[in-house]
Each structure stands twice: as structure tokens, then as C-alpha cells.
A and B are shown apart, each in its own frame.
Chain A
Amino acid sequence: MGEILRYDHVDVSYNGLCMVHDVSFAVQAGEILGIAGESGSGKSTLLRAAMGLLGRDGMVTRGDIWYGGRSLPDLSSGEMRRISGSEIGMIFQLAGSSFCAIRTVGVQLFEMMQAHGMEDRKLFEEQARELFARFGFPDPQRILDSYPFQLSGGMQQRVGVAAAMLLRPKILLADEPTSALDVTVQKQVIEEMLLVREMFGTAILLVTHNMGVIRAMADKLLVMRDGRMVEYGEAGEVLEHPQAPYTKQLLAAVPRLRR
């Protein structure tokens, strides 16, 4: 156990314009940190910064992101390749864009596993089918044989989550992992993510607009607005007794089901 990831006064800029200001928090092994907040406030940017995926225009301009004594923004691309996927996994906000359009899901996932040392295709397919079945796919083999465009939005999203889990990373950076799922399937995916945390002590950074998902999963909650942290604390505490005016406004606007 112990601390696994630390953001230390992080600023991120795109084209020299600072979009994320002075963000600090730490995540323990096995901890789930929910990140919610305004659209455009820098949530995806925070996750991408850890993976060195800010693109040509973006960079961490101040502060540091520490992972096991290493500064992630300072890693060479070779070092980053070695740990990305197997130690730090990412689930992208646009699930579809994380796949190549012209090869099947099964081929792509096996390549990913091969890059991290798995040789046995049959064993891989067995594992993948078993995992897919737990994500609410009645016919897992069809998913392996499909091209990404042949899958619905929510199916692509589930494949993205499953792909990140296959490598059993120590940290999972999950950007809106359930936004395209109906509520019954969402429940299954949440259960799987909680199970992975339970079994392997995976820490999860969970970006979501869905306060129900935060309530069901998060230990801590960070609320962002305009590139800044407006609130950070125990999730239950923040949800029950929000302090910042923006958090109060956000929680008050959540549509509630009248049963």
C-alpha cells in the first residue's frame, strides 16, 4: 500500500496558454479518486498529462507528477511506452478513437498484449472472452471478430475499459468510462472496476459527470472549474456537505429520477 501517484502544483498549458492551474493531490494504491467539474475545466488534460499525451501544443509548465519516485513529465518516450498500459492504463473519453479502424478488436488487443509479453493467442482469447462476458456481451467472440465501426458507441466504450483492464495496471486513468452505457450495463462495468481494485489494488482516477457513478465508486472527490481545484476531500463528505459554491451548484443541478 502507500502513495502511488502524486500531482504536485501542476500547471498545464496549450500553445503557451495556461489551462490547468496549480493542481495538487495524491492517490494511494487501491484508492479511487473521482474527478468531476465543468466541461472544459481540464479533467481530461490532467489525465493526459500523466501519460505524456498532451499533443504537440500542450505541456506541463510547472510542478510535477510523481509515480514511484519518477517524474512522469520527464520520462523519455521509450520509458513511457514501457509503463503505459502495463503499469498505468488509460481509458479514453472517445473510446472509438483509441482503436484502429481497419483491424479487428481481437487482433488489436492481442497486439497490445504481445507488446507486453503475452505470446499465447488462445490463452489471450479465453481471457478476453471471459472478461467481455462480464461486461454484458452475450456473444464475446463476435466482439473479438468485429471491426470497431461494427460496434455501437457503448460497445466500443466497454471494449476500451476491458482493454485497459486486461493488462492489470497499477493505476487506471479512466476518462468518462461509462458515459455511453445504459444503466444496467453501467452497473456491471462499475462492479468490474471495483473488483479489479479489490483483487489487484489498482488505483483509479475516474473522470465523470455522473454523480451517481462517483457515489458508487469514489473514495475521494476532486471538483474542477476553470482549470482550478475548487474542492477536494472524502467523496461522501463532499457529496453530503459541499463547501465551495460551485460544488453546491453542480450537485443541485443533478437531474433526479422521480419514481
Chain B
Amino acid sequence: MAPVLQVEHLKKIFFSDAGEELTAVNDVSFAVHAGEKVAIIGESGSGKTTVARLVTRLSDVTEGRIVLMGKDITRASGRKLRGAYANMQMVFQSPAESFDPRCTLGDGIAECLRNFGRSRKEAEQETLRLLRVCGLAADFAGRYPHEASGGQCQRAAIARAIALKPKLLILDEATSALDVTVQAEILALLTQLQREFSLAYLFICHDIALVQDFCDRVLVMHEGRVVEEGASEEVIRRPKQAYTKRLIDSVL
């Protein structure tokens, strides 16, 4: 079966005001299959978020190709991009980025549902259900982002991302503000969605023990490149590259 996501030779160069080049992502290729949970781990600043922003078309690639569900979306915009977002959703590293500060969390989620054809009433009911499965009481629908804690905002962002039952969910440090018991509940929810709908995950995470528990496969990034890749157990227990070894030795 064709993969849900295939990226080939992705490259992203940023230019500073002074015109200096910074290659944030360099020749990155990988695929994510239906129902698969793939982690990206690696050094802070190594290009993980940039890969996620390229795949979700929030940032233009310098080089390379992105294929989602068999469609080339490398340059997609407008209607085609909207179609892609029905299949692919992302939870950002900073919860603040996920929600408009002027709208309530509930409006943020309901709007997303209404954009894809639900009636106002359906959207409202579904919003409450989604908040509940993410461990948030109904009154959070009426709260503004600044009225929720860091972890509550993160859970609301996850609720919105799963609202459209996408085929691919990109989670950028999406559980880093959760205590471990709430985190375990969210991961159980994600695993259930994976089983029911073959949802695939691209899971960017610094917590290597969590990656070992949750993910099937790992990509290790360092200075813009994927330096090691393989089954989670294999990479974590028997790292081959010096950088991966150093990383795993630093786990507290």
C-alpha cells in the first residue's frame, strides 16, 4: 500500500537579514504508512519543527517533494491545500500558536468542524465530546487560551487536531506540558484512534522513554539531517551513530 506521507530530499534554507544562509533541513527523506507511529528525535535546533512546517505547507520547501495520500502537495495552495488539511493536521510546539487569542477554545474547534461541513449544532456537540475525551470539562469551550493552563491548552489543541479524523497527525512536542498521568491518558487515546481509523503519527518528542513506549519507528536528526533511522527498540537499545549514543546516554 502507498504510504500516507512520503517526503523526498527535503531541503530548507533560511536567509538572515545580513543575507547569510542557514540550512535548517538538508536532504531529508522518509515515509509514514497508515497506522504507523514515527518519531523524530534529536538536538534542539536540528530542524524537526521545520520538517513539520514544510510537510504542512506552512513554509515553502527550497528543494524536495512532499506526497500526501498519493498527491503531490509540494506547492499546493488554496483549495488543494484545504483538501490536504482534511487528511493531515498538526499540533504546534507552542500551544499559543495553535489558537487565536481572541477566540474561545470551543470556537476554535467548532470553526474547524464547520469549515468542513458540519452544522452549527453538530459542531458544538462534537466540540464538547472532543474536549471530554481529552480530559477537559465542558466549561473549557467558553474559555480563552490565556484562561487555560499550558497543558490544558495543549489538550484543546489535540482535541481540535483529531476533530476531522485526519489520516496523518503531526504532533510537535504536543505532550511536553502534560503531567505523566494525563500524558498517559492522551497517548492511550491516540493509540485507540490509530487502531480504529489507522491514523498515522509523526511524533516530534524529546522524551526518549516515551518514544520507546509509543512509536514504531524513529528518525534521529542532527544539524538538519537524519543521521539514524530504524525500529524504536533497535535505535534506542542499540544506537549506531555517535550522536544517537550521546543522546541516549544523556537520558536522566
Contact = CB atoms under 8 A, between A and B. Distances in A.
Nearest to B238: A259
B44 A39 contact: no
B49 A152 contact: yes
A172 B49 CA distance: 29
Contact of B180 (A146, A213, A250): A250
Given A212-B251, A258-B237, 17 more contacts: A39-B150, A40-B148, A40-B152, A150-B14, A150-B16, A153-B173, A179-B176, A180-B44, A180-B173, A184-B246, A209-B178, A209-B179, A211-B180, A253-B184, A255-B209, A255-B210, A257-B236
Contact of B147 (A14, A37, A255): A14
Given A181-B44, A209-B177, A153 B18 contact: no
Interface in A75-94: 93-94
B152 A153 contact: no
B153 to A, nearest CB: 9
Nearest to A156: B94
A185 B44 contact: yes
Given A152-B44, A155-B45, A96 B206 contact: no
Interface of B: 14, 16-18, 41-45, 48-49, 93-96, 146-152, 155, 172-173, 176-184, 206-210, 212-213, 236-237, 246-248, 250-252
A176 B44 contact: no
A215 interface: yes
A51 B142 CA distance: 27
B206 A183 contact: yes
Contacts of B146: 55
A44 interface: yes
Interface residues of A, number: 50
B7 to A, nearest CB: 19
Nearest to B222: A182
Contacts of A202: none
Contacts of B183: 209, 253
A257 B208 contact: yes
Most chain A beta-carbon neighbours within 10 Å: one of B148, B178, B252: B252
Contacts of B14: 150
Interface of A: 14, 36-40, 44, 55, 57, 93-94, 96-97, 136, 142, 145-146, 150-155, 158, 176, 179-187, 209-213, 215-216, 249-250, 253-259
B207 A255 contact: yes
A253 B181 contact: yes
16 contacts: A39-B149, A39-B182, A93-B150, A96-B96, A145-B18, A152-B49, A154-B44, A155-B44, A158-B44, A180-B206, A183-B250, A209-B179, A253-B180, A257-B236, A258-B236, A259-B237
Contacts of A57: 147
B188 to A, nearest CB: 11
Contacts of A153: 44, 49, 93-94, 172-173
A183 B150 contact: no
A254 B252 CA distance: 12
Nearest to A58: B147
Nearest to B47: A152
Nearest to A185: B44
A55 B183 CA distance: 28
A44 B180 contact: no
B181 A249 contact: yes
A250 B150 contact: no
A142 B149 CA distance: 32
Contacts of B176: 176, 179-180, 209
